Amino acid sequence: MTSPNDQHRPLVGMFWMLAAGLSFVGMNALVKVLGTSMNPIQAAFLRYVLGLVFLLPAIRAILGTPLTPRNLTLFGLRGMVHAIAVMLWFFAMTRIPLAEVTAMNYMTPIYVTVGAALFLGEKLAFRRIAAIGVAVIGVVIILRPGFREILPGHIAMLGAALALGGSYLLAKVMVRDIRPSAVVAHLSIWVTIALIPFAVAVWEPPSLRDLGILFIVASFATAGHYFMTLALQAAPVAVTQPVTFLQLIWATLLGALAFHERIDIWVIAGGTLILAAVSFITWREAVLSRGGTPPQGSETPPAKPRTVID
């Protein structure tokens, strides 16, 4: 029999989320090392092709997924949306500092919250609206329009976070009928397929160095998502979410030490505001999922815990 302590281990969950954050920062740094030696679109495609090897343990989930017309449509649509996000993300990584990419990526859960209200009929009460407003202020602090140059990399990263939000919304729809493990496994396949025509258009023979870097990128990405899964199994999201702030600290330090990027206090401040908003929304969702009674005028508790698949 499993005891409550086995089901809820906050320190273990925080440790695994810490490991996930380190993996993601390492992945970002390697993409930065790749630099402009390869077109970002081709790099994104090869990263997913090389990452297909990690799907071997999920073959049963892939083969067992019913490929109905609806499922095929959702798989294909999510693959295209996620592919756009990946291409924009690879481009942004080579154009703006690591810390800015990390901070702006925190906006993805905010987009998911807004999208769930607009398209899935979920409640969006005043507290969440206020948290979203705080996150938007955080983005403005990072970009500081009128006080600094907004580069194509910034626009690409805003688009990447928005597209990732769309991908996660599609996942929320898909997990109603398909096992989460199958949704995750199919994502890599369909993203790879969606990237093929874009990669063909810019294709150049890759070097062994670039292929090696991209394989390690795929390895870090897989490890990061696996560690995140372990974290969520060990403790609630509300416990593990604040640990993701450390990614911004590590990205800032790594950018300064390895890539000679300037430490921008405004980026840290803006990223902190965004993550604070995300953490608040996560905490509210955890309270409602446990069946807590919110104050009058707040969100209606959902029928069951909501699932977001990365």
- Locate all alpha helices (DSSP H) within 35-151, ordered by sequence: 40-51, 59-63, 69-93, 98-105, 108-119, 126-143
Distance CA 9, CA 16 (A): 11
Residue spans of the chain under pLDDT 50: 1-6, 293-310
Which is nearest to 94 in space by CA: 41, 171, 162, 148? 41
Position of tokens 């905010």?
110
- Locate all alpha helices (DSSP H) within 235-264, ordered by sequence: 237-240, 245-259
Contact 209, 66 (CB under 8 A): no
Distance CA 211, CA 49 (A): 11
Which is nearest to 276 in space by CA: 118, 130, 155, 157? 130
User: What pLDDT, on the 0 to 100 scale, is given for residue 291?
Assistant: 63
Position of tokens 């999922």?
289
Q: Could you give the angle at the alpha carbon of 117 between the alpha carbons of 114 and 122, nearest 5°? A: 135
Which is nearest to 105 in space by CA: 239, 275, 227, 260? 275
Contact 160, 92 (CB under 8 A): yes
User: What pLDDT, on the 0 to 100 scale, is given for residue 298?
Assistant: 40
Q: What is the pLDDT of residues 185-196, one digit of tens each?
A: 899 999 999 999
Per-residue b or e along 215-253, where b marks 16 or more CB atoms closer than 10 Å to that residue's CB: bbbbbbbbbbbebbbbbbebbbbbbbbbbbbebbebbbe
Position of tokens 């990526």?
105
Which is nearest to 41 in space by CA: 202, 155, 248, 181? 202
Q: Which residues pair with 145 in a beta bridge?
A: 148
Tokens at 161, concatenated: 């976070």
DSSP 56: G
User: What pLDDT, on the 0 to 100 scale, is given for residue 8?
Assistant: 63
